[in-house]
Amino acid sequence: MNAIISAPELASALSGAKPSVLLDVRWQLSIGKAAGEPPFDGRAAYRTGHLPGAVYVDLDRELASAPGGHGRHPLPNLAVFGAAMRRAGVSSATPVVVYDGGMGWAAARAWWLLRWTGHPDVRVLDGGLPSWEGPLETSVPQPAEGDFVPVPAADGLLDADGAAALARSGVLLDARAGERYRGEVEPIDRVGGHIPGAVSAPTTENVGPDGRFLPAGELGARFRELGVSPSARVGVYCGSGVSAAHEVLALAVAGIPAALYVGSWSEWSGDPERPVAVGPDPQ
C-alpha cells in the first residue's frame, strides 16, 4: 500500500463505501518567529476550516510526551495516544488519512506512530491541506468512538545507543538542514553538529516546490546516492523526531524500510558525554 495519497484520490475515497478517518495535525516549529509573535495555534487554524469530518490531533500533547531528558518530542504515553486515536474515531479496520498545513512533518509523525503501533492502513495526504480543492468545514465533528489499541512493534524504533551503532554498521540519515548538521548554527539545542557517522540528508530535498513528494524513482535514486543499498539497515533522526518521520515516510514511498530515532538530536546533544561531529563529513 502506498504511504501517501493525492487529494483527488482522497476525494474519490471519501465518497466510497468505506471512507477514511481524517486526522488534522497542523503544527509548526517555532524557529524563526519574530520577537513577540505568538506561537502557531493548530487548533485555531483547524477551527477556521478543515477537511469535512476531520478531527484535530495535538502533536505536542497527543503525539509526544512532555520535553525532557529524552528530547523535545519523546514518544507519547501510549494510553494517551490510544485514547486520542479512539476519540478521533480510529479503529483497526478503518483506513486513516493524516494531513497538516502542507509541510508534512506533523502528518508524518502521526503516520509513523500509527504504523509503529500496529495500524495497517494509514496514509498521508501528499501536499497537505493546500493540495485539497474540495470544500472545508468549520464545525467540530463528534465521531463514534474507535477501537484502536496501540501495540508497539518490536522494530522500527531507535534509541541513542541504537542510532550510534547504526551509524557504524548501516546508514543513519540526519534529516535536519545542512547548516545544523555541520554545526554552523544551532537555534534550539545545546550544541550544533551531528551524530558521528551520520549522513546529511535534509528532508526538504524529498519534496518539490509544491510540497509534494518527488516520484518514488527519484527518491530511490537520491537515497542510493546517500549510501542506501538494498541490504543496508537505515535509520533517521532530526532535531526532535518530527521531520525525521517525514524522511522515514519518503523512504517508504521509495520502498525502503527505515527506523526512527525519536529522541533525535535534542536527546543526543543533551548529554555532554555523547560525542559530537561537526563539518560536512559524517565522521
pLDDT per residue as tens digits for the range 210-250: 999 999 999 999 999 999 998 999 999 999 999 999 999 99
Task: Report pTM.
Answer: 0.95
List, by residue number, the catalytic residues.
238
Do the two domains 4-131 and 157-268 of this chain adopt the same fold? yes
Could you read off the pLDDT of 63-98 as tens digits, one per residue? 999 999 999 999 999 999 999 999 999 999 999 999
Q: Which CATH number fits domain 157-268: 3.30.70.580, 3.40.50.720, 3.40.250.10, 3.40.190.10?
A: 3.40.250.10
Instruction: Please tell me the predicted confidence (pLDDT) of residue 29.
Output: 80
Parse the chain into domains and list their residue ranges: 4-131, 157-268
Tell me which CATH code domain 4-131 carries.
3.40.250.10
Q: What is the DSSP string of the chain?
A: --SEE-HHHHHHHHTSSSPPEEEE------TTPPTTPPPP-HHHHHHH-BSTT-EE--HHHHSS--SBTTBSSPPPPHHHHHHHHHHTT--TTS-EEEE-SSS-HHHHHHHHHHHHTT-S-EEEETT-GGG--S--B-S---PPP--------SSSEE-HHHHHHHHHHSEEEE-S-HHHHHTS--SSSSS--B-TT-EE--GGGGB-TTSPBPPHHHHHHHHHHTT--TT--EEEE-SSSSHHHHHHHHHHHTT---EEESSHHHHHTTSTTS--B-SSS--
Q: What is the pLDDT of residue 40?
A: 86
